[in-house]
Amino acid sequence: MKNRPGMRISLIVAMAENRVIGRPLPDRINIVVSRRAGYQPAGCLKADSLESAFALCPPEETEAFVIGGGELFRESIPIADRIYLTVVPLTVPGDTFFPEIPDAFAVTAREHVAGPHSYELNIYDRIRT
């Protein structure tokens, strides 16, 4: 799969400590990838593959975000340049999980946000050799 030159491919996800994930996002273009015929998600564009979703991104965009679910994360992680990973200190039931992050990525920033709903934000960038 090819991504558009000059456009960073990023994964953005919030997960529980046990990797369970569970997000259209406001004030941005949302493209849903689905092969289901006749399906048109409200307020979103629809593509039948990850590659065709990237093709729908406006030409001026410099970063495309994959926001889930589990299958799209597994499909896109080999071409991703960056991962924005929020870890919430909870263990929750679920059947959709974020994949293990390959060794091809390294943590380049980490921030712990304290409060009644604390979390940790980690930014991983692909190691370029």
Write the DSSP assignment of 12-40 as a string of letters. EEEEETT-BB----TTS--EEE---TT--
CA separation for the pair 25, 51 (Å, rounded): 20
- pLDDT one-digit tens code per residue, 74-104: 999 999 999 999 999 999 999 999 999 999 9
Residue 32 corresponds to which tokens in the numbers above? 């849903």
**The CATH fold of domain 8-126:** Dihydrofolate Reductase, subunit A (3.40.430)
pLDDT above 80 (res 2) = no
Contacts of 82 (CB under 8 A, 6+ apart): 8, 9, 10, 11, 123, 124, 125, 126
Which amino acid type is present at position 4?
R
Instruction: Give SS3 for 49.
Output: coil
Per-residue pLDDT at 3: 61
- pLDDT one-digit tens code per residue, 22-69: 777 778 889 999 989 998 888 899 999 999 999 999 999 999 999 988
Instruction: Look up the pTM and report it.
Output: 0.88
Query: What phi, psi does 76 have (nearest 5°)?
Result: -95, -15
pLDDT band at 124 (very low <50, low <70, confident <90, very high): very high
